[in-house]
Homo-oligomer: A and B are copies of this chain.
Amino acid sequence: MKRCDEGANLEIMTHEDAIELSEFYKMVGDSNRIRLLYLLIDKEICVHHLAEQLGMSQSAVSHQLRLLRQQRLVKYTKDGKKIYYSLDDEHVKTILNIGLEHLKHREE
């Protein structure tokens, strides 16, 4: 493998892109959000039920959903009083699975 210890600039991505990427990854950097996202794989679930399943308050779940919405990891559809959330991006599912693979690697 190439070894570098001085000289030319190696950086291939802008600081701005790094910040944007990190904001996306932060979303899967919290265990409650991870559990929430796993619940949403192949299903849509309303807020109340998410809170119940996760053992979190309605308010806490709602705050987290706002973050996940902002980063476009989840989307929703309304149905009367209820709002059903689901994953917004296949990449999310892929990333969750790769994380599990990495855990296996760590256990070796």
Copies, count:
2
5 shortest interchain CB distances as A-B pairs: A29-B29, A26-B29, A18-B31, A25-B28, A22-B31
Complex formed: what's the CA distance from A24 to B100 in Å?
10
- A89-B105, A94-B98 known; 15 new pairs, CB 8 Å cut-off, are A2-B42, A3-B43, A6-B49, A11-B39, A18-B34, A18-B35, A19-B31, A21-B99, A22-B28, A22-B31, A25-B25, A26-B29, A71-B106, A95-B98, A95-B102
Q: A51-97: which residues lie under 8 A (CB-CB) from chain B?
A: 52-53, 71-72, 82, 84, 86, 89, 91-92, 94-96
Chain A positions near chain B (C-beta within 8 angstroms):
1-6, 9-13, 15, 17-22, 24-26, 28-35, 38-39, 42-46, 48-49, 52-53, 71-72, 82, 84, 86, 89, 91-92, 94-96, 98-103, 105-106
